[in-house]
Structure 1
Amino acid sequence: MVFLTHPEVVIDPAVPVPEWHLAPEGIAKLRRFAASGGMAGVGTVWASTECKAIETAGILAAAKGLGVRVREDLGENDRSATGYLPPPEFQRMADAFFARPEESVRGWERAVDAQARIVAAVRAVMADSPDTGDILVAAHGGVGALLRGHLLGAPISRALDQPSAGCWFAVALPEWRLLTPEWRALA
């Protein structure tokens, strides 16, 4: 399985975050990834219900002539209580989200709950995917960090977060073993 996070988006404070679209540079990264053979072996593509994840999955699936399946529980941690936050404030909130995983910081979904949800969602994706090749999940960095922590048997930590938007890691299935020790950036 490949777990891939959406790349750069068009940030618009007037639009709800789940409705943000990919930015041109993010689209270009995805096209390069698909052309580089990054989709070799992929037979099923999944996405969260957020626009940016569906667009990510759509670009990659189209490169293989595949459709996209969606699941709401593949979504990013629920931050609707605060909505858009300017970058410095968002970074402070993300730090608090990871530092206090059993608390709801300013109404955000608790990290422990988001981790349980993303692990269950990926297990459901595995069970619901035909045996036609590798699975690609297009989702989000925060829940990706939580999934990595689970796979590593490590405590929830921002240190496991992606270094930038548009990264991926591979997981051996059914063993649930990370094949890529670190996040890999889309080129």
Structure 2
Amino acid sequence: MGRLCDDFTIFIIITLIHIIFLYAEIGICYGMIADNLPPPQEVIDLCKQHNIQRLRLYNPVPQALQALQGSGIEVILGVLNEDIQNIASSQAYADQWVNQNVKAFPNVKFKYITLGNEIDSPVVRPFILPAMQNIYNSVNALGIKVSTVLDLSVLGSSYPPSAGK
């Protein structure tokens, strides 16, 4: 009986590893705040060469979006923190942002739009939800989801989870 359990355990482990490698999708965060970076087309070619299927672009950089066209890479596109208030205040501004940064690149596989990056400013926070709503109104028909990325300092308490605030 012991040998059968050991063989079964090994079978389960091998099966789980196979499933993880078969279905796992690898992604990268593509930040551009540095010097001596390779051109966007080289970065995207490298991603394709290594079967990287998802990419987070912190803000809409036209050269990077151009390089992503036709790549098949799923993109999470960020809205700069400083654009959130204008997007929240005007549906027309949100529509213009989407036209310029999403619709202008029809062969990019946009999956999500994230409003801001680790927002910790109490000045910006009140504008997050209205900005998300306006961007959602602009991209809903395209099947793109909308989210945000908050700084974890907004959590008053996170442990234990049942006591989270």
Classify the TM-score, shorter chain.
Answer: 0.3 to 0.5
Greater Cα radius of gyration, structure 1 or 2: 2
Question: What's the TM-score once normalised by structure 2's chain length?
Answer: 0.33
- Pick 1 or 2: higher relative contact order, CA cutoff 8 A, min separation 6: 1
